[in-house]
Amino acid sequence: MRGPDSMAGIAGAVSTRLAALLAAGCLTAFAFSPAALADTPDGAVAAGAGAYFTKARGSLGPDERPPVAEYRSGAAMGRAVPTNQWYSSVMFERWAYPLHAHPMTYRPSERGFELGLPDRHAESPDAFQRDIVYPHTAAIVIAPTGFKPQDARLEQFSDWLVGIRMGTPDGPALHATVLHGSPFSYFECDSGDVRVTLGAKPETNVDPRSPGNDPRVVVVTVAGHAYAFFAPTGASWEWSGPTELVLHLPATTRYFSVAGLPDAKPATVADFLGVAYAFPTTTRTDWSYDEKSSRVRTTYTVETVAREGKGLKTFMGLYPHQWSALPTATASPYKYDSVRGAIRLIAGNSFVVERTFHGILPMWAALEDPAHRSQVDSLLSGDVAKADELYTHQQGRGTYWIGKAIGATAQLINVAEAEGRGSARDELLAKLKRRFENWFDARHATHFVHDKTLGTVVGFPQEFHSYQSMNDHHFHYGYWLMGAANIALRDPAWASEEKWGAMVGKIVADIATSDRSGAEFPFLRNFDSYEGHAWASGTSTGGPVFENGNNQESSSEAVNAWAGLILWGEATGNRALRDLGIYLYTTEVAAVQQYWFDLDHQVLGPDFGKPFAVQVFGGKFSYNTWWTEEPHQMYGINALPFTPASTYLGADPAYVRSVFASLPAEEKHYHEHGNIPSNPPPDDIWQDALASWLALADADAGYARWNKQGNVESGETRTRTLFWLLSLKEMGNPDFSLTADTALYSVFRTASGTRTYLAYNAHATPLKVTFSDGKVLDVAPHALGRAH
C-alpha cells in the first residue's frame, strides 16, 4: 500500500529520513565508501556475519515514529502485533474502522457493536476512476445496558477469527467474536442486559412472544436484509420501541449470536438455529505440498464449543477462489453477494481445497538463435557497466527502491549466466553481495532494526511509511529475497547462518513466520490465509479511505515475495520454508486471478466496466492507484516485477490480449478526462513492463510493442526485457497443462506444438525430473536443464 501521504514519494521525492541523513553528511554511506562507521555501533546485535539494532538510531520525526498497538487486552497482549490484517485497525484506534469480514461488515463504535449486510454500489470519484463499493452498514447495533464501554480492544485472534472486547479496563465488557466467511457474530455480555438498535423500522419480524415461535429467536428485516438473533434458553426479549429490542439475559448464560440471513423463510431460520449455539473458539489454515504431483492441499478448520445443546457444526462461508478449488463437487444451500463475489455456505467445521503448483524458475535457458544472442549481448555489456546506476538513479534509498535495484541486478545476473557471460555474472554477483552486506553489517546509515515491541524488522531509511504505519513489508522484502536467493543458488556459503543467511532470515521472519504463538513476529504478517491474498497497510488507519478496510494494490509484488521465499528455501535446503512459499505463491496467484483479473467473470461485473481491478480493499475494488491515473502504470502495477516466476500472468492468453486491446481507449480517455499532473510522465512510461506482459500471450506482439530506446521502468534493464521477449519468441507461451515432480520447473509451447521443458537443480547432486507427460530431464547440480 503506497498510502495517500506517500504519493509524492512515488513521484520522485526522497524520504524525510533520507533528507535528514543527507543533512547530517551521511551521503557517503549511500555511495558505499569504505566502512562509513569504523566499528559496530553500540546497541547492535550480531546475527551471523551481520548485525541489527533493537531500536531506531537517533530521533525519529513525527512522520517516522512507529504505531502503538494500544488497544489490546487478554491473550492478544502476549503475542506479536498482527499488523497488516483485515482487522488491524482495532489495535490502533479507540473505535476501529469498519471490519469487512464478508459477507458481513462490523464496526465497534461508541454506539455499540455495529453489524450489517452491505449492498453493492458503483461509484465514479472522477471522470476516469471507477469503484465498486460495499460500504459498511450499521443495520444492527449491539450495546450493553448496564455499563458504557470506553473503547474496543483486540483480545484474541487466530487465522481468520477475531475477538473484540468492548468495556472498561477493569470492569465488565461486551465480547464479540467475528470471522471471515461467516454470517454469524457471537457475543457474551459480562453483566446486565443488552440493547439491540435497528438501523430502520423493521419491515417484517418474527416475534418470540407469538404463539408457536421459539422464545429464543427474533427475526427482523432491515433495509431489505434479514437478521436473526439467537438467545440462550431462559432469556427474554422486550420491544422497547419500534427500532429497539432489549435482551434480558439469565445470570449464568450470558451469550447470544446474531446472523445475517440469506432470506427470512422459516426453513432458513431453522437451519441457522441448528448451528447458532456452536461458538467458534479458534481457526486454523494448514497446507501441504506434494512434490510428486505438484499439488498444494489447504485445510481450513474452525473449532467450536457448544454453548447450548451438543451441536458443534457451524456454517463456513467459502470465497470464490476456495469454492472453485474444492476437490469434489459440493452443494451449498445458501449464498451471499459480497465484494469478493458469491460467498457460499457449507455446514461443517472444515473443508479442503487443492490446487496445482505450476512451478517457477530462478532463470531461463540460453537463447538458441545466434541472432537473438547477439542482440542481447549488445545490450548486456552496457547494462553491466551501468549496474551501479540501478541504485543511484532510484527515487529513494530505502528498502523499496533499493529493493527494486536489487531485483533488477538479480535478473541481470541470470541473463549473464544463461548467455555464458561468466565474468559479467561474477562482477554483478560481487556487487550484489556488497549491497546486501552494507545493509546487513550495521556499520552504515542504511541498516535494519528489530523492534520487539511491534514484532518487526524494518530497514532504514523507511519508505512508504514502512515503520510509521508498517506498510508494504512484503513488497519491499520480496525484492530482497529474490536477490538473496539468487546469491544463495551460486554461493551457498554466503547464505549460511554463520554468514549472511541469519540476516536474510530476519527478513523472512518479518513477512513469513509460520509460528502462531510467537512474541517476536506475527503469523504470516501480510497474508490473509482465508481470503487468499496479502494486505499492504499495516494499521489500516489514517483517513476516510480506510472506511473500506485494508488494501493491496500491487498484487504482483506480493507474488514476487512468495516466489523469493520459494527460491530462498530451495537454495538453502529449508523444505518447510519452500513449501510455505509454494502455498503462499499458489494461493495468492489464485486470488489475483479471481479478484484482480476476474478470469471467470464472477466478481467485477458489467457495472465496473474495466478489464481489471487495480486496488482491492476489504470493502471495495477500484480502477485507480495511490499516485496516478496514467494508464500504463494502472495496467502495469499488478504485473511488475517480471521474473521467471511471472508466468502466471499468461495463464489466460485471450484475457491478456483483451487487456491490451482496451488500452488505446483508456489512453484516449485519460488524455481527455484524467487527472494529468503538471509534470506528466513520459508517454511511453513502463513500456517495457507492458511489452513483457503482452509477450506471455503473444510474443511477437510483445516484441513489436517494445522500444529499445524507450522508457525503462525503475526495476528493469533493457537486457532483461529483450532476453524475455526473445526467449518467449523461441519457446512460445507458458504451458500450464503439464507438471513436474520438482519445485523449480516450467514448460512452454510454441504455436506449432513444440515444447520446451526447463528444470533447475539447486542442490549438489544430480537430479532426475519427470514431467507429467513422461518427459524425463536429467539436471546437473546447481544448473538449469533444458529439453524439447
Q: Inter-axis angle of helices 399-418 and 422-440, to 10 degrees?
A: 160
Q: Rounded CA gap, 270 and 7, in Å?
A: 51
The DSSP code for 83 is -
Q: Which of 151, 417, 472, 510 is catalytic?
A: 472
The x, y and z cell numbers of residue 519, run together, are 512474541
The three-class DSSP label of residue 418 is helix
Provide φ and ψ at 468, rounded to 5°.
Answer: -60, -40
- Number of residues that make up the chain: 788
Q: Is 386 left (phi over 0), alpha (psi -120 to 50) or beta?
A: alpha
Q: Which of 64, 557, 598, 735 is catalytic?
A: 557
Q: Which of 155, 159, 271, 553 is catalytic?
A: 553
261 neighbors 228 (Cβ within 8 angstroms): yes
Inter-residue long-range contacts of 105-108, CB under 8 Å, 24+ positions, other chains counted: 105/134, 105/135, 105/136, 105/137, 105/619, 106/136, 106/176, 106/178, 106/185, 107/136, 107/138, 108/152, 108/164, 108/166, 108/176
What are the distances in angstroms from CA 639 to CA 113, 592, 658, 712, 736?
A: 39, 11, 15, 15, 18
Produce one character per residue of 268-278: b if its CB has 16 or more CB atoms within 10 Å, e if not.
bbebbbebbbb
Q: Rounded CA gap, 505 and 482, in Å?
A: 13
Of 413, 433, 415, nearest in space to 425 by CA = 413
Beta-carbon contacts of 634 under 8 Å, excluding residues fewer than 6 positions away, are 614, 623, 624, 625, 628, 666
Chain Cα centroid distance, residue 14: 25
Of 101, 99, 104, nearest in space to 89 by CA = 99
Burial environment of residue 662 by CB neighbours within 10 A (0 to 12, 13 to 18, 19 or more): middle
Q: Rounded CA gap, 101 and 258, in Å?
A: 14
Q: Rounded CA gap, 503 and 497, in Å?
A: 8
| 214 is a catalytic site residue | no
Beta carbons within 10 angstroms of residue 761's beta carbon: 23
Produce one character per residue of 59-83: b if its CB has 16 or more CB atoms within 10 Å, e if not.
ebeeebebbebebbbeebeebbbbb
The x, y and z cell numbers of residue 53, run together, are 539494532
| 238 is a catalytic site residue | no
Q: Rounded CA gap, 486 and 161, in Å?
A: 37
Q: Rounded CA gap, 297 and 299, in Å?
A: 7
Q: Rounded CA gap, 743 and 747, in Å?
A: 12
The x, y and z cell numbers of residue 400, run together, are 523499496
Of 126, 127, 124, 122, nearest in space to 669 by CA = 127
Strand partners, 770: 776
Tell me whether the omega of the peptide bond preceding residue 631 falls within 30 degrees of 0, making it cis. no
What are the distances in angstroms from CA 420 to CA 27, 376, 388, 426, 761?
A: 36, 12, 22, 11, 18
| 531 is a catalytic site residue | no
What are the distances in angstroms from CA 294 to CA 290, 337, 475, 748, 772?
A: 6, 33, 26, 17, 10
DSSP 41-78: PTTEEEETTEEEESS-SSPPPTTTSPP---SB-GGGGG
What are the distances in angstroms from CA 493 to CA 176, 187, 489, 501?
A: 51, 54, 10, 9
Q: Rounded CA gap, 504 and 433, in Å?
A: 12
Beta-carbon contacts of 705 under 8 Å, excluding residues fewer than 6 positions away, are 687, 690, 691, 694
Residues tagged active-site: 472, 553, 557
